[in-house]
Amino acid sequence: MSWLEELDASLAVTTYQVGKLLLLGRNDRGQLATSERSFRRAMGVTTDGQTLWLATAFQVWRMEHQFDNHARDAGYDRLFVPRIAYTTGDLDLHDIAIDSLGQPLFVATLFNCLATVSTEQSFEQVWRPPFITTLTAEDRCHLNGLAMVDGQPRYVTLCHQSDVNRAWKKHRMLGGELWSTTDNEPIVTGLSMPHSPRWHDGRLWLLNSGTGYLGYVDLDRGEFEPVAFVPGYARGLAFVDHYAIVGLSRPREQNKFGGLALDDELAKRGMTSYAGLAIVDLETGQTVQTLEIEGRIAELYDVAVLAGIHRPAALGLSPNDLRYNVWADAEAGRRHWRRTPRK
């Protein structure tokens, strides 16, 4: 994992298929160190290194780093502990981000809108495309991706401009669009299943997932400029300096991606898709490192960077994790009590 050392970072990765939050770092010998915790349908993830937000099947979780001598002695420099869960119900949550006030914003795909948490109802609508005529539990356009600029929601991706339930599925090849949430209009059309728009270093990047390309958007011309091909269905995009970390998934059925252009591009290049991560040098468009995940994990959704953190870990939702670990501010500062479960 020399590239993690080069980047001076670790990664948070989600896989909804098996419901896992994966924290990828390195141990003292420079080897890959993984902390794996179960969260049903883990989707969007975002973190500033102190707080980690996670969108799941029917809840939005806020996790906080807690000082822990046991974790430190085991070689971990971050321990994320579940602290608050907002119960949203099943909204088919996708991307999640934090605004300038520290509030979570997420894509409620089933309801075709951006939303935030509420203490009184399942969610509070923040924005929806103007062509969606009513707030309803029908996935009409497959709104999925969210890009923040200066702490405000600025761009979203969707799979087709439709006001009919699941009509977007008939337009997977070229129906995708990038929208401005401030201008309420599309900026780029003709995309194929776009995901993960991200603002980085003064430029808007996204994954044109149906074609397999990472690229940026020329906002003046309203065009997508491909930079690098990655061998898999791309979702999840994060950056460190001039490197992009891209999440990749294998196909769901018969080793094919449902007739998307990605199938033809893989065949033309003689490449096989994989589940894992691709590290792309944005200056050259070359993939400089890969991490392939074997076994039952076939699909990833999101990836976030933990800058300056070498080996993160997390507590999950098991009763013993949550019941027998207690933190509180005491006279000498914050303390941690770890109790032994009763037999």
User: 8 lies in a domain?
Assistant: yes
Task: Tally Cβ neighbours within 10 Å of residue 314.
Answer: 23
Structural domain count of the chain: 1
- Name the residue among 178, 269, 259 with its Cα closest to residue 224: 178
Is 215 strand, coil or helix?
Answer: strand
Is 39 within 8 Å of 20 (Cβ atoms)? Answer: yes
Is 48 within 8 Å of 42 (Cβ atoms)? Answer: no
Query: Looking at residue 70, what is its pLDDT?
Result: 76
Residue 153 amino acid letter: P
Task: Tally Cβ neighbours within 10 Å of residue 117.
Answer: 21
Query: Looking at residue 254, what is its pLDDT?
Result: 66
User: 333 lies in a domain?
Assistant: no
Is 290 within 8 Å of 8 (Cβ atoms)? Answer: no
Is 248 within 8 Å of 233 (Cβ atoms)? Answer: yes
pLDDT tens digits in sequence order for the chain, 343 residues long: 688 998 899 999 999 999 999 999 999 898 999 999 999 999 999 999 999 999 999 999 999 999 777 788 889 999 999 999 999 999 999 999 999 999 999 999 999 999 999 999 999 999 999 999 999 999 999 999 999 999 999 999 999 999 999 999 999 999 999 999 999 999 999 999 999 999 999 999 999 999 999 999 999 999 999 999 999 999 999 999 999 999 999 987 766 688 899 999 999 999 999 999 999 999 999 999 999 998 999 999 999 999 999 999 999 999 888 888 899 988 877 888 888 777 6
DSSP state of 111: G
User: 270 lies in a domain?
Assistant: yes
- Distance (Å, whole) CA 159 – CA 179: 11
Query: Looking at residue 319, what is its pLDDT?
Result: 86
Ramachandran region of residue 278, left (φ > 0), alpha (ψ -120 to 50) or beta?
beta
- When computed from its CA atoms, the radius of gyration of the chain, rounded to whole angstroms, is 20
pTM listed for this prediction: 0.96
User: 75 lies in a domain?
Assistant: no
Beta strand residue intervals within 241-292, DSSP E: 243-249, 276-281, 286-292
Structural domain including 9 reads: 2-13+82-308
Is 294 within 8 Å of 288 (Cβ atoms)? Answer: no
User: 201 lies in a domain?
Assistant: yes
Query: Looking at residue 253, what is its pLDDT?
Result: 73
CATH number (domain holding residue 134): 2.120.10.30
Q: How would you class 169 by CB atoms within 10 Å of its CB: exposed for 0-12, middle for 13-18, buried for 19 or more?
A: middle
User: 244 lies in a domain?
Assistant: yes
User: 143 lies in a domain?
Assistant: yes
Task: Tally Cβ neighbours within 10 Å of residue 141.
Answer: 28
User: 319 lies in a domain?
Assistant: no
Query: Looking at residue 255, what is its pLDDT?
Result: 62
Residue with tokens 């194929």: 192
Query: Looking at residue 256, what is its pLDDT?
Result: 66
